[in-house]
Chains A and B, each alone.
Chain A
Amino acid sequence: MKEQLQKDFNNTIEGLSLTQKDIEIKKFYLDNFISKGFPNRKEEDWKFSDLKQIINKNIGEISFYTDFTTTNKVDTSVYVDGLEHNKIVFINGRIEKIDFDYEEKDQIEIIDQSETINKFNNTSSLSDLNSAFTNKSFKIAVKKDYRLVKPLIIYHTTNSKIWSKNINLRLNFELSENSCLRLIDLYSDTSEKNFLNIFYNFDLKKDSILKNYKVDKFKNKNIKYSFNNIDQDKNSISETFILSSGSNFFKNEINCNLSGEYSSAFVNGIFSLNNSMHHEIRTIINHLTENTKSYQLIKSVLEENSKAVYQGKIYVNSKAQKTDGYQLSKAILLNKDAEFNAKPELEIYADDVKCSHGSASGNLNENSIFYLMSRGLSYQQSRELLINGFLLDVVEKITDPEVKNLIKNLIGIKE
């Protein structure tokens, strides 16, 4: 793999106009990645999902260079109907379209950062990989007091032109004081056997609100990793919703730093898996100052021999008195080969806090099924009703009514 990495790295560098110093920095990240390799189960954070093995099994030989000189035609059929929205379209990792038609032009600034290198608050080898190979990276800054009229949908599409490739993406968001952004990540793939490595960084200033909905619904055979770093200032709110259901493997990581007073973070997630899918959500909520709040709810429905992992950590600094942290994960295993692993972790150094977590896993409640059947529903109907209700709980947590409807339609939840 080392030779491949070196060769692909040289190709990638050629296509960019970087200063010698920047190339040196990129080389440094490359060397880091070469020495560490893909994360494996020996690392605590990857204990339940051995990425190295997964990539070997699903992809085999992987290459890291993609030719970005030719444009791809944007397939408008992937666009979401019935919801007016701004768009950013990625095709095979190349940005094809940035469109903020619904917004006031001077309120949103898009800065090309491809030629600068941002340090990322992450020491994993995937972050090194991302830093070494990202070739286009943008910063989207929302100006003070501006609330986007329409949500922004980022389409992550891939098509059959790529095969056994690693794609690295990076976006930076800055939400100025009292601004608001609704962001939907929509994954749609017609390619197979690729590894997407996505890093987002959010900087939330005072009183700003971020709502991020990650929707991985359409079935595909790709492997994905997404990392969100969210830094929150005073009074800011972040809401993250994850629908984890389409890809062969998907690991979503949310790292949230509540460093301003009265800031709050909400993470809600659904795993709805079948076949031999293997998905993971890992959250780290760092309560760094007084009066911060976090709430997490993760629900899973697992069929066939699928596997879901939830690792959630609440960290409370000794300064962070009056913290309110809550975390709940529930799983329904519908098949004897399904597997649910959880590691809900609390690390607390302050005494005046209210922190709790709960985790439960098991099968559908036979008594509830019996109750419904005794009222005339078939077994299948009762089962669906129960699962619907189970998942609806999480969807109802979405605070944006437009997006809530969109997601309900996508999952096919009836009320």
Chain B
Amino acid sequence: MDNRQKEIDNLKDYKYGFTTDIENTKAPKGLNEDVIKFISNIKKEPQWMLDFRLKAYDRFKQLKEPDWQKPKYPKIDYQDLYYYSAPKSMKDKPKNLDDLDPKLLETYKKLGIPLQEQKRLNGIAVDAVFDSVSVATTFREELTKQGIIFCPISEAIQNHPELVKKYLGSVIPVTDHFFATLNSAVFTDGSFAYIPEGVRCPMELSTYFRINASNTGQFERTLIIADKGSYVSYLEGCTAPMRDENQLHAANVELVALDDAEIKYSTVQNWYPGDKDGKGGIYNFVTKRGLCKGKNSKISWTQVETGSAITWKYPSCILKGDNSVGEFYSIAITNNHQKADTGTKMIHLGKNTKSKIISKGISAGLSDMTYRGLVDISSKAANSNNYTQCDSLLMGNKCGAHTVPYIKNKNAESNIAHEATTSKISEEQLHYCQQRGLSAEEAVGLIVNGFCKEVLQQLPMEFAVEAQKLVGISLEGSVG
């Protein structure tokens, strides 16, 4: 018990809230063509990439910031941000980990992501992104043997232009919505993965995002392509230091699954959520979209959202190939002043497509949580199926839980079923647990974990344990 208490006390505060004191190279403040050229130049990008960015920027200038979302936030001054920030030591890319700035190694060690050879997590290849650049990628040789490409996207632009050119912007076009377009114009780094035909990726691929510098926006771009018959499981984790001001994180993630391929994308998002009075924290405005391009393909999103001041994202699946499958499993927890507006879109275009949505929302304190989702079965998507379940749990009467599903069925041979419930932890359940010797907090922890179990099961082993702990910590202090 004592040990557990100590562990909780340790974890109670946001333990990833430290900053790394490291010299940065930054782009000039503000957003204009010169800054975009600066980013493109520093990355030594080919002309087509710069054209891609400028095209997006042209489009961005015409777009208006959306305002239909539930959580409102003070206007962001896009001219008052740094769009590029990188540790100075990264200017000349270190050849191997021994050349890497020890401060960076130290940072990742503190975060529990050891990059050095001997301490690496077994079976997980990590791409570590620090502010605007990728600092290290582990297990690369082993992956290369199988023909798998796993590297920072800036490297992929240099080394595999044919793949990047073909797929970048194919799921999230440059003409998409406000934040996605902004990302297309100024994205700095991110991960790129290509799984060749018929290969089952032997280990989990993972990216670890870290925002360090202040006043910067993080705009990373992830592109994963699973060629015919391949399989990959991808993990994403994120943290940021504690700061008083809000920081913007607007990433784009594109997934492409060709015939018979499967992509499993898991996120444990733990950006700094702001302090107890709602000061500071990350604005997590992310666009994630997967395209089931080939027949029999499958894309599955799993997310555990515990951090960020505002989470605003809808990981989506476009089920274009016949018999393709889309899945979405989500746990979103908000406490204190956090706000979340999250959900998914399942767009059925091909025949016999199936999708499943399981969303669990927990709100406590003064927080506000919205599930917003779209299920659209087009007239050509014969014999398609969708099942949606979204449950919300409320703790206290100062928080809110909302459900806004959009359901469109244009095909008579297709079925859609949707269920949603909102409730609180019942006195009976609490009483039952306490009667058997658990404290009130432990009882709540147990019940909440049970509530989330369906989703936690979808996470890879190592992550599931972490996530389960995170769920408990996020709700600390919300009972009684």
Q: Which of A347, A348, A357, A363 gathers most chain B CB within 10 Å?
A: A348
Between-chain CB contacts (< 8 Å), 6 pairs: A334-B412, A339-B408, A343-B405, A345-B402, A348-B402, A362-B416
A167 at the interface (CB under 8 A from B): no
Q: Which residues of B contact A359 (CB under 8 A)?
A: 405, 407, 416-418
Q: Mark A306-350, 1 if CB is under 8 A from B, else 0.
A: 000000000000100100000000010111111111111111111
B413 touches A345 (CB 8 A): no
B409 touches A336 (CB 8 A): no
Q: Which residues of A contact B410 (CB under 8 A)?
A: 339
A356 touches B422 (CB 8 A): yes
Segment 390-441 of B: residues with Cβ below 8 Å from A = 392, 394-424
B422 touches A361 (CB 8 A): no
Q: Which residues of B contact A350 (CB under 8 A)?
A: 394, 397
A331 to B394, CA, bound (A): 30
B68 at the interface (CB under 8 A from A): yes
CB of A315 to closest CB in B, whole Å = 9
A348 touches B394 (CB 8 A): yes
B379 at the interface (CB under 8 A from A): yes
CB of B296 to closest CB in A, whole Å = 23
A336 touches B412 (CB 8 A): yes
A152 to B397, CA, bound (A): 43
CB of A89 to closest CB in B, whole Å = 40
Q: Which residues of B contact A334 (CB under 8 A)?
A: 412
Q: Which residues of A contact B403 (CB under 8 A)?
A: 344-346, 357
A354 to B423, CA, bound (A): 5
Q: B407's contact among A318, A337, A361, by CB below 8 Å, is which? A: A361
Whether A361 touches B420, Cβ cut-off 8 Å, given contacts A318-B397, A318-B398, A345-B404, is no
A173 to B154, CA, bound (A): 69
A358 at the interface (CB under 8 A from B): yes
A122 to B405, CA, bound (A): 24
A343 touches B394 (CB 8 A): no
CB of A25 to closest CB in B, whole Å = 31
CB of B178 to closest CB in A, whole Å = 17
Chain B residue with Cβ nearest A354: B423
B379 touches A337 (CB 8 A): yes
A318 to B405, CA, bound (A): 22
Q: A353's contact among B409, B416, B417, B423, by CB below 8 Å, is which? A: B423
Q: Which residues of A contact B414 (CB under 8 A)?
A: 362
A355 at the interface (CB under 8 A from B): yes
Q: Which residues of A contact B379 (CB under 8 A)?
A: 336-337
A360 at the interface (CB under 8 A from B): yes
Residues on B facing A (Cβ under 8 Å): 68, 379, 382, 392, 394-424
B397 touches A352 (CB 8 A): yes
| 8 residue pairs, one from A and one from B, having the closest CB atoms | A362-B415, A333-B412, A351-B394, A346-B403, A359-B418, A356-B421, A342-B407, A355-B422
Interface residues on chain A, size class: 35 or more
B419 touches A356 (CB 8 A): yes
Whether A44 touches B68, Cβ cut-off 8 Å, given contacts A334-B412, A342-B407, A343-B404, is yes
A274 to B418, CA, bound (A): 25
B412 touches A338 (CB 8 A): yes
CB of A340 to closest CB in B, whole Å = 5
Whether A348 touches B401, Cβ cut-off 8 Å, given contacts A357-B420, A359-B418, is yes
Q: B420's contact among A318, A337, A358, by CB below 8 Å, is which? A: A358
Q: Which residues of A contact B68 (CB under 8 A)?
A: 44
A288 to B379, CA, bound (A): 40
Q: B418's contact among A344, A348, A363, by CB below 8 Å, is which? A: A344
Whether A351 touches B409, Cβ cut-off 8 Å, given contacts A336-B379, A356-B420, is no
Segment 215-262 of A: residues with Cβ below 8 Å from B = none
CB of A344 to closest CB in B, whole Å = 6
Q: Which residues of A contact B405 (CB under 8 A)?
A: 342-345, 359
B397 touches A349 (CB 8 A): yes
Whether A349 touches B399, Cβ cut-off 8 Å, given contacts A343-B405, A357-B420, A360-B417, is yes
B422 touches A333 (CB 8 A): no
Chain B residue with Cβ nearest A311: B406
Chain B residue with Cβ nearest A327: B420
A343 to B68, CA, bound (A): 16
Whether A339 touches B409, Cβ cut-off 8 Å, given contacts A44-B68, A346-B403, A351-B396, is yes
CB of A343 to closest CB in B, whole Å = 5
Q: Which residues of A contact B421 (CB under 8 A)?
A: 355-356
CB of A140 to closest CB in B, whole Å = 37
Whether A352 touches B424, Cβ cut-off 8 Å, given contacts A335-B412, A339-B409, A341-B408, is yes
CB of A386 to closest CB in B, whole Å = 15
Q: Which of B382, B397, B412, B413 gathers most chain A CB within 10 Å?
A: B412
A336 to B406, CA, bound (A): 20
Q: Which residues of B contact A351 (CB under 8 A)?
A: 394-397, 399, 424
Q: Which residues of A contact B417 (CB under 8 A)?
A: 358-360
A363 touches B397 (CB 8 A): no
A11 to B118, CA, bound (A): 89
A333 touches B409 (CB 8 A): yes
CB of A350 to closest CB in B, whole Å = 5
CB of A241 to closest CB in B, whole Å = 23
CB of B356 to closest CB in A, whole Å = 15
B395 touches A361 (CB 8 A): no
In the complex, given contacts A348-B401, A353-B422, what are 11 additional A-B residue pairs having Cβ atoms less than 8 angstroms apart? A336-B379, A336-B382, A341-B408, A344-B420, A345-B405, A347-B400, A348-B400, A353-B423, A358-B418, A359-B405, A361-B409
A347 to B411, CA, bound (A): 29
A363 touches B406 (CB 8 A): no
A355 to B423, CA, bound (A): 7
A86 to B232, CA, bound (A): 71
Chain B residue with Cβ nearest A359: B418
A363 to B421, CA, bound (A): 25
